[in-house]
């Protein structure tokens, strides 16, 4: 009688784990290329699309067989948490199935025993007794009960007089926090490309720079990453670097709207915590340039008259004041009341928008003081405040516009 799918995995798990144990330890040896595309969806979410181009070596294929022409391929290790908008597809954009959590745990159990056996290979210990004693610890890891994992490993080592079980510790740590993504593919006799994607939530801080985890850059012999920058924003700098050592691994073009980085793994220099640092800036002529021009015009309309004009005399004639109020309000509305912006750009420009609002309100109150023919001291105070505020805001906006990126990208900086 044919085995049920769950039973097939029970039978095949140790073979799959034996092959996966080697393949996962030498990922760059059989994965030719990994391409990541990071799309900034909002100020709280990024979509990460990963494409993995690989060839499973011939001698491993039979071991990875699930039955009936299907094979299990370890694609990645993901953290145990709900996946948002997860998708796995092949070269022809067909959906690719995954092993279930239970099936993954069955193989995970074998991977943990493999790691323990590797630890025991160099030790003079009763490997049979240790293997049996480690059973409950391994089941706890698979049951997501990572409590006291270190303590339980210490107890196992002490009880059997073992050297540190480093291989088991490392594997147990990863499998208690994550799971292997097992893609079920139908053909392994040729080079394959599988693509997975998911949305990653994050908390936007005040900085205009972002650190994207790039753990995968060492998991293929070559790594390509590109960032789909939201409209009206630019990536001022894009750098792949190691957060632990501070070493720059690769750098992309400056002020680019889709910066791309290529990195080839150097097995002699392992990276500890690779990440992609992207520093964003709002395009100059999207808002900052026009806002600086408007603020400067307002400052010129308000500040020199406060210094040189006879405001009391002007108060008798409301025409210019009303014109000033109406024109500044119209420009202000056109620039500020935009709803079609990317949320990240909106967040980035909020302080500069407030500057323009302050500048416009200053002009509005100055014009109103004249228009309503307020008392001379009120006119003086209002215009003095308006003059100072408008000059200050114009200055801030001019500096921000001058420092913001233009629409032209520049080549990547040369590495030392």
Partner 1 sequence: MRIPFIRPKRPALYKGMSKDITYIPSGELAWPNRRPRTLEEALASRDRIRRVRANGARPS
Site residues (CB under 8 A) for partner 1, limited to 32-91: 38, 46, 48, 59-60, 76-79, 81, 83
According to CB under 8 A, which residues from 298 to 317 bind partner 1? none
Residue 239 sits in the site that holds partner 1 (CB under 8 A): yes
What phi, psi does 237 have (nearest 5°)?
Answer: -140, 150
Closest separation in Å from C-beta 128 to partner 1: 5
Contact map string, positions 188 to 207, toward partner 1, x by CB under 8 A? ----------x-x-xxxx-x
How does DSSP assign 364-376, residue by residue? HHHHHHHHTT--H
Near partner 1 by CB under 8 A: residue from 248, 293, 336, 361: 248
Judged by CB under 8 A, the stretch of 92-100, 108-116, 286-294, 320-328 that binds partner 1 is 108-116
Quick check: 26 binds partner 1 (CB under 8 A)? yes
C-beta closer to partner 1: residue 19 or 366: 19
CB of 355 to partner 1, least distance (A): 8
| 51: Cβ contacts below 8 Å, ≥ 6 apart | 33, 34, 35, 36, 193, 194, 195
- Residue 157 interacts with partner 1 (CB under 8 A): yes or no: no
Closest approach, Cβ 54 to partner 1, in A, equals 15
| Sole window of 130-138, 144-152, 300-308, 333-341 interacting with partner 1 (rule: CB under 8 A) | 130-138
CB of 79 to partner 1, least distance (A): 5
22-30, 256-264, 302-310, 323-331 -> range binding partner 1 (CB under 8 A):
22-30
Q: Which of 8, 24, 39, 318 binds partner 1 (CB under 8 A)?
A: 24
| Smallest gap from residue 164 Cβ to partner 1 (A) | 13
Hey, which residues between 343 and 362 contact partner 1 (CB under 8 A)?
351
Cβ 325 to partner 1, closest distance in Å?
A: 27
Assess 15 for contact with partner 1 (CB under 8 A). yes
Residue 8 contacts partner 1 per CB under 8 A: no
Binding mask 261-290 for partner 1 (x = CB under 8 A): ---------x--x-x-x-x-----------
Stretch that binds partner 1, among 214-222, 292-300, 306-314, 357-365 (CB under 8 A): 214-222
Residue 316: how many other CB atoms lie within 10 Å: 9
> With contacts defined by CB under 8 A, how many residues of the chain interact with partner 1?
78
């Amino acid at each position: 009688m044919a085995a049920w799918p769950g039973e097939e995995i029970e039978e095949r798990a140790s073979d799959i784990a034996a092959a996966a144990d080697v393949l996962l330890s030498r990922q760059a040896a059989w994965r030719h290329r990994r391409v990541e595309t990071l799309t900034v969806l909002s100020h709280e979410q990024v979509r990460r699309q990963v494409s993995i181009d690989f060839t499973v070596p011939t001698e491993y294929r039979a071991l990875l067989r699930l039955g009936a022409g299907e094979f299990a391929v370890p694609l990645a290790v993901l953290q145990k948490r709900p996946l948002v908008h997860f998708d796995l597809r092949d070269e022809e954009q067909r959906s690719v199935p995954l092993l279930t959590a239970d099936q993954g745990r069955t193989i995970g159990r074998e991977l943990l025993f493999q790691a323990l056996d590797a630890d025991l290979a160099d030790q003079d210990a009763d490997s049979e007794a240790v293997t049996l004693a480690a059973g409950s610890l391994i089941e706890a890891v698979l049951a997501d009960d990572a409590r006291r994992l270190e303590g339980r490993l210490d107890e196992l080592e002490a009880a059997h007089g073992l050297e540190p079980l480093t291989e088991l510790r490392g594997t147990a740590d990863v499998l208690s926090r994550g799971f292997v993504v097992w893609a079920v593919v139908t053909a392994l006799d040729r080079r394959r490309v599988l693509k997975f994607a998911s949305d990653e939530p994050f908390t936007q801080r005040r900085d205009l720079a972002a650190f994207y985890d790039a753990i995968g850059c060492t998991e293929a012999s070559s790594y390509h990453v590109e960032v789909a920058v939201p409209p009206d924003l630019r990536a001022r700098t894009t750098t792949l670097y190691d957060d632990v050592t501070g070493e720059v691994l690769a750098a992309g073009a400056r002020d680019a709207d889709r910066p791309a980085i290529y990195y080839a793994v150097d097995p002699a220099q392992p990276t500890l915590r690779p990440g992609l640092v992207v520093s964003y800036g709002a395009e100059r002529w999207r808002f900052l340039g026009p806002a600086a021009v408007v603020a400067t015009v307002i400052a010129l309309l308000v500040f020199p008259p406060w210094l040189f004009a006879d405001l009391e005399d002007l108060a008798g004639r409301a025409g210019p004041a009303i014109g000033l109020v109406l024109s500044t309000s119209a420009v202000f509305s056109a620039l500020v009341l935009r709803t079609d912006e990317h949320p990240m750009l909106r967040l980035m420009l909020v302080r500069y928008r407030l500057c323009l609002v302050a500048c416009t309100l200053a002009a509005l109150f100055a014009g109103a003081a004249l228009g309503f023919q307020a008392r001379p001291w009120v006119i003086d105070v209002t215009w003095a405040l308006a003059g100072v505020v408008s000059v200050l805001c114009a200055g801030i906006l001019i500096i921000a516009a001058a420092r913001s990126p233009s629409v032209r990208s520049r080549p990547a900086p040369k590495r030392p």
